[in-house]
Amino acid sequence: MNVPAAWYLVLAAVLFGVGAYGLLTRRSALIMFMCLELMLNAVNLTFVTFSRTMSDVAGQVTVFFVMVVAAAEVTVGLGIVVAIFRRRSTTSVDELSEMKG
């Protein structure tokens, strides 16, 4: 018998928390993107877990689409990081403060 769904759900909650903490505290835009991937993976794990407990493949289809959107998001996001680095020679989000009032 497989382990209960709650174990995987708690694991996903912990993974989401770690990713959120990294996103809030790290300053390199690249590391922040990686933490975003951690949070997306936590949500994917939740979707797959509920897909198993409810015997419905719709959760897995959603994970499939989340992966596509994540790939697109990383592509555009890293393009923006490269463009910013060309102008400012930094990837630290602290130094991008022109909009500060």
Partner 1 sequence: MIATAYSAGAVAVFVTSALLIVVGAIGVITVKNPVHAAMSLIMTLFGVAVAFVAQSADFLAAVQIIVYAGAIVVLFLFVIMFLGVDRREGVRVEPLVGQRPLAATGVGIVVLGLVALMARSHWVTGAMSVSTKGAPLATGSGNVSQLGTAVFTTYLYAFEATAALLVIAVVGAIVLARREHSLDEESA
Look at the block and give the residue holding tokens 């989000």: 93
Contacts to partner 1 from residues 39-98, by CB under 8 A? 41, 44-45, 48-58, 60-61, 63-65, 67-76, 78-83, 85-86, 91-92, 94
- Considering beta carbons, is residue 71 or 99 the nearer one to partner 1? 71
Q: Is 22 in the site for partner 1 (CB under 8 A)?
A: yes
Task: Tell me the C-alpha distance between 39 and 45, whole Å.
Answer: 10
Q: Report, in Å, the least distance between residue 50 CB and partner 1.
A: 7
CA 31, CA 69: separation in Å to the nearest integer? 19
